[in-house]
Amino acid sequence: MMLDIILPALVNETIALLKESALVSTIGLADILQNANVVKGTIFRYFEPYIIAGALYYVMVMILTWFARVLERRMRRSD
């Protein structure tokens, strides 16, 4: 089946897009990193908002990785 062949590359690309979404904040669309910049300017603390933003990105990547691992196991079992 083709899906089990393309699944690892698809998941890697999805994770890369999630990580690169921080670049979108420079264009003007608000995302996690842009919100961290707003909080930084409001409370005048520079370290904490970026730590929280990094933790949120980490959690999202780990959830995607876990989901991909479960999906790959189910695909292998169905063969």
Give me the torsion for CA of 47, 52, 29, 7, rounded to 10°: 130
Over the stretch 15-39, which tens digit does the pLDDT of each residue have?
A: 887 777 665 555 545 677 778 888 9
Q: Let me know if 25 is exposed, middle or buried by CB neighbors in 10 A (0-12, 13-18, 19+).
A: middle
Instruction: For residues 49 and 56, give the distance between their C-alpha atoms in angstroms, rounded to a whole number.
Output: 11
Instruction: For residues 46 and 12, give the distance between their C-alpha atoms in angstroms, rounded to a whole number.
Output: 31
Instruction: For residues 54 and 59, give the distance between their C-alpha atoms in angstroms, rounded to a whole number.
Output: 9
Report the range of poorest mean pLDDT among 6-15, 24-33, 68-77. Answer: 24-33
